[in-house]
């Protein structure tokens, strides 16, 4: 019987101390409607996080704006008392403000970014952040000021790695003049991979690439669709095909599918066992919406 273990997807080496399994978990869904307010069943959310740990997931992605703060609280509760807690890697994001359901407003004032990092560490129960993304570049402040503040926090030992979210290659290059960028998190999936150049640049530069919305397959996953048909061929789910494509696309990709269902979590992690043929991978690569 094939085991459900995130380690089957291979690993990514962040630094000399930390190697993560390449199938992570994103906590964004553990909030209310519109990523606003508390999740309806916190105990279940904590259970999903604990089950993810049992399945070998050791990379968790969060943000202070998820809730805001609620997802962080559930993540902290789910990880509390876990064996080998020091082997769990958390990526966080700062730089977005929330005014209500589905409302996101970038705010990159350096003092605000510093405040959010400090509060996130307290909420998550950390003495430092493993990885902090600038959630969005705020056009009201220079990249030098925004990334520079994260670099200052890094110099103080409060941040280990710095990342950027939803950026272009040119923006990454501008940020690299200020600090070492170790990760990028952009919208990317089998149905929408317009950022192929960002994935390739990140790989070339030794950066991890986190595709957010990795299962946004839409009509492609419907009965009779390409993903559905291919899933039948491999005797797996369409979601597993979508994740397997990401894992095969580049070794620096770390998918972070989120779910509030233990059953869906198991299905997602089992994608680590799917080995797409080169022909099938190439066929799926033609599905881009660009």
Does the CA dihedral 93-264-23-231 come out positive or negative? negative
Q: 81: helix, coil or strand?
A: coil
Bridge partners for 21 per DSSP: 11
Q: Answer yes or no: are the C-beta atoms of 102 and 36 closer than 8 Å.
A: yes
On the question of a cis peptide bond just before residue 68, with omega within 30 degrees of 0, the verdict is yes
Q: Answer yes or no: are the C-beta atoms of 146 and 108 closer than 8 Å.
A: yes
Please give the Cα distance from 289 to 272 (Å, whole number): 25
Please give the Cα distance from 217 to 85 (Å, whole number): 33
Clarify whether 39 is annotated catalytic: no
Q: Answer yes or no: are the C-beta atoms of 88 and 79 closer than 8 Å.
A: yes
Q: Which two tokens stand for residue 245?
A: 């494509």
- Where helices occur in the chain by DSSP H, the ranges are 42-54, 70-79, 110-124, 143-155, 169-176, 196-204, 226-234, 238-249, 262-269, 278-284
Catalytic residue among 12, 55, 66, 70: 66
Q: Answer yes or no: are the C-beta atoms of 211 and 219 closer than 8 Å.
A: no
Residue 56: exposure state from Cβ atoms within 10 A (0-12, 13-18, ≥19) = middle
Bridge partners for 159 per DSSP: 129
Please give the Cα distance from 80 to 182 (Å, whole number): 27
The catalytic residues are 66
């Amino acid at each position: 019987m094939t085991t459900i273990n995130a380690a089957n997807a291979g690993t990514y080496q962040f630094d000399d101390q930390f190697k993560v399994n390449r199938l992570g978990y994103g906590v964004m869904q553990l909030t209310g409607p519109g990523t606003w307010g508390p999740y309806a069943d916190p105990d279940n959310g904590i259970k999903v996080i604990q089950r993810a740990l049992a399945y070998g997931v050791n990379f968790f992605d969060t943000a202070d704006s998820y809730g805001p703060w609620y997802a962080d609280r559930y993540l902290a509760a789910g990880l509390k008392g876990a064996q080998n807690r020091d082997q769990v890697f958390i990526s966080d994001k700062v730089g977005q403000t929330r005014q209500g359901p589905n409302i996101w407003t970038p705010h990159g004032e350096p003092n605000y970014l510093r405040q959010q990092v400090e509060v996130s560490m307290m909420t998550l129960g950390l003495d430092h952040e493993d990885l902090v993304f600038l959630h969005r570049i705020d056009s009201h402040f220079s990249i030098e000021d925004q990334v520079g503040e994260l670099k200052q926090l890094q110099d103080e030992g409060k941040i280990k790695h710095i990342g950027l979210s939803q950026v272009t290659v040119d923006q990454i290059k501008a940020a690299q003049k200020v600090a070492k960028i170790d990760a990028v998190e952009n919208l990317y999936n089998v149905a929408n991979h317009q950022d192929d150049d960002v994935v390739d640049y990140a790989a070339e530069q030794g950066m991890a690439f986190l595709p957010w919305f990795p299962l946004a397959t839409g009509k492609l996953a419907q009965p009779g669709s390409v993903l559905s048909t291919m899933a039948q061929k491999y005797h797996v789910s369409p979601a597993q095909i979508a994740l397997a494509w990401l894992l095969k696309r580049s070794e620096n990709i770390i998918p972070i599918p989120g779910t509030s269902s233990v059953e869906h979590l198991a299905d997602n992690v089992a994608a680590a066992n799917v080995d797409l043929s080169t022909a099938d991978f190439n066929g799926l690569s033609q599905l881009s919406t660009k």
